[in-house]
């Protein structure tokens, strides 16, 4: 029984579900002539990061890839869910990290949303070293210290701490945690609100769609930039309790009252069955169908840096 089972996504997926997905569904698709996994020649767009913005103190955001971002806000540089190598397991990156590891500026705090290996990579953390403050949900301290962290703050949902001029609050997510088969849901998971004089940013971490987005938006007061996952959703019968599809990410941004949706969790790893280029295409189509302002949807290239201005 995991410490946080009562908060974990339901229904819980197990070995029988994985067998159905990886073997039974694959056979059915092959017989029917379906090949959802065919990338169709798509390449994840990459561009050089903005060195001046990244080096400066002005508010900015750079997509490093997957759920990894460098956010400068309130005079603090925050590195969120950094992962700088291939993996987990046999997975290979579809695009290099948007800011090379040895070109990162000094980091004030590293924010970890949960312990899944595509969000918490101990090798990457060991390279970052003990200088930054590490912020994580309850249950991560021992792992972070083993990776080299010297200062760790653990938070419960709605707990907060401050770094420079930014207040950082851990908020709920509909997900789960596991590093090994025997530690499922022993550590908490969540997203972060980052509030400063220049505005409020939100990073959801991994999450399924849930009505908690409305409460997060209400408590935040106003969210200027919401980093939300749009990928790793297919097959829906398997992924729906833990990952959003693009249309759900759009609905989540509306519940949050976010001024901008910043798409993430696509284009870096082939975690699930949708073609790599499908998430951004569906997000753009869904955004247009709802008549939302085009400049409020940020589908960034890996490495793209944007100034954060309200």
Tokens linked to 270: 């082939």
Residue 151 has pLDDT above 70, yes or no: yes
- How confident is residue 13, by pLDDT bands cut at 50, 70 and 90? confident
Residue 191 has pLDDT above 70, yes or no: yes
Cα separation, 70 vs 50, whole angstroms: 12
Domain ranges of the chain: 107-296
Q: What is the pLDDT of residue 12?
A: 81
Taking 3-state DSSP, the helix, strand and coil percentages for the chain, each rounded to the nearest 5, stand at 25, 25, 50
Higher pLDDT, 241 or 10: 241
pLDDT digit string (tens) for 87-125?
777 889 999 999 999 999 999 999 999 999 999 999 999
Can you spell out the DSSP letters for 211-264?
THHHHHHHHHS-EEEEEEE-----SHHHHTTT---HHHHHHHHHHHTEEEEEEE
What percent of the chain has pLDDT above 70?
94
- How confident is residue 24, by pLDDT bands cut at 50, 70 and 90? low
Give the relative orientation of helices 246-256 and 278-289 as an angle to the nearest 10 degrees.
Answer: 50
Average pLDDT, the chain: 93
Residue 1 has pLDDT above 80, yes or no: no
Q: What is the pLDDT of residue 253?
A: 98
Higher pLDDT, 232 or 24: 232
Domain 107-296, what fold? Metallo-beta-lactamase; Chain A (3.60.15)
User: What are φ and ψ of residue 134, in 5° steps?
Assistant: -105, 125
CA terminus-to-terminus distance, the chain? 45
Higher pLDDT, 42 or 292: 292
């Amino acid at each position: 029984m995991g410490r946080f089972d009562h908060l974990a996504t339901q229904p819980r997926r197990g070995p029988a579900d994985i067998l159905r997905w990886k073997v039974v569904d694959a056979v059915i698709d092959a017989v029917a002539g379906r090949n959802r996994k065919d990338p169709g020649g798509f390449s994840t767009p990459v561009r050089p990061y903005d060195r001046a913005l990244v080096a400066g103190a002005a508010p900015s955001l750079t997509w490093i890839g997957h759920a990894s971002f460098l956010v400068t806000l309130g005079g603090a540089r925050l590195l969120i869910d950094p992962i700088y190598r291939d993996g987990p397991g046999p997975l290979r990156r579809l695009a290099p990290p948007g800011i090379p590891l040895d070109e990162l500026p000094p980091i004030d705090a590293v924010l970890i949303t949960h312990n899944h290996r595509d969000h918490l990579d101990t090798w990457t953390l060991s390279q970052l070293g003990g200088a930054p403050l590490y912020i994580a949900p309850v249950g991560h301290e021992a792992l972070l210290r083993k990776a080299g962290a010297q200062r760790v703050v653990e938070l419960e949902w709605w707990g907060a701490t401050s770094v420079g001029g930014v207040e950082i609050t851990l908020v709920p997510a509909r997900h789960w945690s596991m590093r090994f088969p025997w530690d499922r849901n022993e550590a908490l998971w969540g997203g972060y609100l980052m509030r400063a004089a220049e505005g409020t940013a939100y990073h959801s971490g991994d999450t399924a769609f849930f009505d908690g987005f409305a409460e997060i938006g209400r408590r935040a007061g106003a969210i200027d930039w919401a980093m939300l996952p749009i990928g790793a959703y297919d097959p829906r019968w398997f992924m729906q309790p833990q990952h959003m599809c693009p249309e759900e990410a759009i609905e989540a941004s509306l519940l949050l009252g976010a001024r901008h949706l910043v798409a993430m969790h696509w284009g870096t790893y082939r975690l699930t069955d949708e073609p790599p280029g499908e998430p951004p295409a569906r997000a753009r189509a869904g955004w247009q169908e709802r008549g939302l302002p085009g400049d409020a949807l940020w589908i960034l290239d890996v490495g793209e840096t944007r100034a954060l201005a309200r």
